[in-house]
Amino acid sequence: MSTEIKTKVATPKPKWLRVKLPTGKKYTELRGLVDKYKLNTICTSGSCPNMGECWGEGTATFMILGNICTRSCGFCGVKTGRPESIDWDEPEKVARSIKIMGIKHAVITSVDRDDLKDGGSIIWGETINAIRRMNPKTTLETLIPDFQGNQRNIDRIIAVNPEVVSHNVETVRRLTREVRIQAKYDQSLKVLLYLKQQGVRRTKSGIMLGLGETEEEVIQTLNDLRKAEVDVVTIGQYLQPSKKHLGVKEFITPEQFERYERIGKELGFRHVESGALVRSSYKAHKHIL
């Protein structure tokens, strides 16, 4: 007797999520430098769909404080566990990478380091200062964690004066506990408002769609971000990093992303990036304007 083995066929991604291979002289040049000097960028390690476009415009994203996070968010592909000890040479390494690549606008992000009393904010400050010394013409965006709401740690970011300070709420209020687990929706809003109240010129946040949120909830989230005086918002499609992560509930259509962009602009955001392939650092160089 033969046994028929049935395999589950994954639902194909819609055509608007198909990514063209990055091309262009600038991309090829930077790709060569990254490979030659073994530089670490989120663009390459995260296989960002916008890598070719961003690199062509002189923008790249770097992650500091290791690659192991103390949190276990249901959407994130970064490994969770006990992080390694701090690399105090990292600020110089990142600054040198930016110089080698000739980056005009750098986005710096990090894992959450709840194991550290300072949340990693000291390394954050030293990294920005090192980049400033070695690359005085490079503009900067810092995509920061919530630092558990600790204002002293947030102040270390404010003190080094990046052109843009970003912190993502990631999803709507109802889904936050499932999607972000250790994070709190209202705490993220408080962090964003505090940044603005302390004089940060440009603040930014981002949300992912396709996790089961409703249109009403997305619009409410945009309203909440405006009440927190956020200047820039990015809206993109959530894609499941692995079978262990939260599944995609819905693929949002380009028309719906356009609708959210219109709503965001009507609410008064200075910049709204809304589209299936939009990520936090998409068109980041324009957000300083």
CA 284 – CA 140 distance, rounded (Å):
9
> What are the residue ranges of helices labelled H in the chain?
25-37, 42-45, 51-56, 90-101, 121-134, 151-159, 176-179, 185-197, 215-227, 254-267
Say whether 280 sits in a helix, a strand or coil.
Answer: coil
Residue 247 lies in a domain: yes
Q: 236 forms bridges with which residues in the sheet? A: 208
Residue 80 lies in a domain: yes
Query: Chain-wide mean pLDDT for the chain?
Result: 90
Angle at alpha carbon of residue 124, lines to 233 and 144, rounded to 5°: 20
The answer to whether the beta carbons of residues 14 and 257 sit under 8 Å apart is no
Give the β-pairing of 59-64 and 68-69.
unpaired
Measured CA to CA in angstroms, residue 92 lies from 31, 43, 267 at distances of 21, 20, 40
Residue 288's Cβ-count burial label (10 Å; 0-12, 13-18, 19+) is middle
Whole-model pTM?
0.89
The answer to whether the beta carbons of residues 151 and 117 sit under 8 Å apart is no
Residue 9 lies in a domain: no
CATH of the domain at 126: 3.20.20.70
* DSSP 8-state symbol, 235: E
Which residues in the chain come in under a pLDDT of 50? 1-9
Domain range for 35:
15-288
CB atoms closer than 10 angstroms to residue 133: 11
Tell me how many domains the chain contains: 1
Torsion angle of the four alpha carbons 192, 197, 200, 205, in this order, in degrees rounded to the nearest 10: 20
Give me the amino acid identity at 281. S
- pLDDT digits 0-9 by tens, 231-245: 999 999 998 888 888
**C-alpha 186 chain-centroid distance:** 19
Q: 197 forms bridges with which residues in the sheet? A: none
* Tokens representing residue 176 in the block: 């936050």
Residue 8 lies in a domain: no
Residue 264 lies in a domain: yes
Residue 175 lies in a domain: yes
* DSSP 8-state symbol, 152: H
* Unique residue bearing structure tokens 């040198």: 96
CB atoms closer than 10 angstroms to residue 84: 10
pLDDT confidence of residue 45:
58
**C-alpha 234 chain-centroid distance:** 9
pLDDT confidence of residue 53:
79
pLDDT confidence of residue 15:
85
- pLDDT digits 0-9 by tens, 246-274: 999 999 999 999 999 999 999 999 999 99
Residue 5 lies in a domain: no
Residue 127 lies in a domain: yes
